[in-house]
Amino acid sequence: MPAKKIPLEPGKKEVKPVKRKDIPRLPKEEKEYLVKFYFRYDELQKKQFYVISLETLKIFRTLSYGISVDVTKSKDTIDIKILGLNTKSSYIVQPKQAATELFFEDLYGNFKVLVHKHDKLFNSINASFNIFTKSISLKKDLSKAAKTAKKQFCVFEVDENKFSFKENN
């Protein structure tokens, strides 16, 4: 037995149900990670470090997250594999990105830095580290493998505001 249609009040239009396919979707964010390069001097250890920082562009509001990574360094290549996000224990939760910092002691010269995601996508860049001139320069990777990468999910930058060096007394 078909459902009865209830007559509408005069002057009112019939409302059609909204279908899921009719709801516009927000565009998915293309870039997911920000990779920063900088120098940091550790006063406690009395050592100069080269730092590669990895942050999500997404801000998390309810929990504090860190990024789990697996790092392999060879002669002229640094492989960073993103394993996922993990929660940090914190009593005060502030809206911020998930992040991790990778410290290296002996990066001098040119290195190819590769960032791999769990779905086998990767982004890469060529970084040149020079502690004597206190500079880090980045050059886009023009290799065949980088050109065939399907999606650019990382933004690479040098963060000179975070540079710190041993103070001469």
Determine, yes or no, domain membership for 130.
yes
- AA letter at 86: N
Determine, yes or no, domain membership for 157.
yes
Tens of pLDDT, residue by residue, the chain (169 residues): 566 666 666 666 666 666 666 666 655 667 889 999 999 998 888 898 999 999 999 888 888 888 999 999 998 999 999 998 888 877 777 888 989 999 998 888 899 999 998 777 889 999 999 988 889 999 987 666 666 666 788 899 999 888 888 776 5
Determine, yes or no, domain membership for 1.
no
| 113 φ, ψ (degrees, to nearest 5) | -105, 120
Determine, yes or no, domain membership for 141.
yes
Determine, yes or no, domain membership for 3.
no
H or E element that contains 154: strand 154-158
What span, in angstroms and rounded, lies between the C-alpha atoms of 46 and 43? 5
pLDDT of residue 13: 66
Into how many domains does the chain fold?
A: 1
Determine, yes or no, domain membership for 87.
yes
Determine, yes or no, domain membership for 142.
yes
Q: What is the pTM of this model?
A: 0.76
pLDDT of residue 111: 93
Burial (0-12, 13-18, 19+ Cβ within 10 Å), 166 = exposed
Measured at the CA of 110, the angle between CA 166 and CA 112, to 5 degrees, comes to 115
Burial (0-12, 13-18, 19+ Cβ within 10 Å), 136 = buried
Domain that holds residue 96: 30-162
Distances 12 to 7, 15, 93 between C-alpha atoms, Å = 10, 9, 49
Determine, yes or no, domain membership for 13.
no
What span, in angstroms and rounded, lies between the C-alpha atoms of 146 and 161? 29
